[in-house]
């Protein structure tokens, strides 16, 4: 953290604790309230989904040390199927999203924002970052038509 910014490695060295199920639920309830009336649905305990189209979903997620998002297909669709469908839009789509299509195995265009999600005081920053990135991704992906 030499530049004054939180680095995910700094969090790991501090021994950040796990985030509990009640904390995760409280985080997502707060985020959904923050984003109302944008339709956000449950993906899993750790994720919420925003549908862009019939075959594209923005998956918002949290861990104890970061929040992030990536693009996926509908429930049950294999990663490779989504990857191949999105690859026809490269490199323009990756440039527009400022993310790599296959940079993280299993997640298309994954980006994240390190912060201690175990501290509820960080949640407003997490909500603001997720909202900004989700809106940007939604705007770009909606143009794929």
Q: What is the pLDDT of residue 65?
A: 94
- Kindly state whether residue 2 falls inside one of the protein's structural domains: no
pTM recorded for the entire structure: 0.87
Task: Give per-residue pLDDT as tens, 57-109.
Answer: 999 999 999 999 999 999 999 999 999 999 999 999 999 999 999 998 899 99
**37 within a domain of the structure (yes/no):** yes
Query: 37 pLDDT exceeds 70?
Result: yes
Question: Considering its fold, how many domains does the chain have in total?
Answer: 1
Does residue 36 fall inside a structural domain? yes
Q: Give me the pLDDT at residue 17, please.
A: 81
Residue 3 included in any domain: no
**Is residue 52 assigned to a domain?**
yes
What are the Cα distances from residue 8, in Å, to 66, 86, 105, 116? 8, 29, 19, 9
Q: What would the pLDDT profile of 119-137 be if each residue is shown by its tens digit?
A: 999 999 999 999 999 999 9
The answer to the question of residue 1 being in a domain is: no
Residue 108 lies in a domain: yes
d(CA 106, CA 140): 21
pLDDT in the model for residue 25: 97
- Give the range of the structural domain holding residue 46, as residue numbers without chain letter: 8-142
Residue 54 in any domain: the answer is: yes
The CB density around residue 46, as the number of other CB atoms within 10 Å, is 15
145 confidence band (pLDDT: 50, 70, 90): low
Starting at the earlier edge strand, list the strands of the sheet with 66-72. 41-44, 47-53, 56-62, 66-72, 108-114
């Amino acid at each position: 953290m030499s530049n004054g910014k939180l680095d995910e490695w700094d969090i790991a060295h501090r021994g950040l604790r796990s985030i509990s199920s009640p904390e995760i639920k409280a985080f997502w309830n707060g985020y959904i309230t923050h984003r109302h009336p944008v339709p956000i649905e449950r993906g899993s305990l750790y994720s919420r989904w925003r549908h862009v189209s019939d075959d594209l979903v923005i998956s918002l997620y949290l861990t104890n040390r970061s929040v992030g998002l990536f693009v996926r297909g509908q429930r049950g669709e294999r990663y490779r199927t989504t990857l191949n469908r999105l690859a026809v839009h490269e490199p323009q789509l990756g440039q527009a999203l400022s993310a790599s299509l296959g940079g993280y195995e299993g997640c298309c265009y994954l980006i994240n924002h390190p912060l201690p999600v175990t501290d509820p005081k960080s949640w407003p920053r997490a909500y603001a970052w997720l909202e900004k990135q989700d809106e940007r991704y939604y705007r770009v992906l909606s143009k794929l038509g």
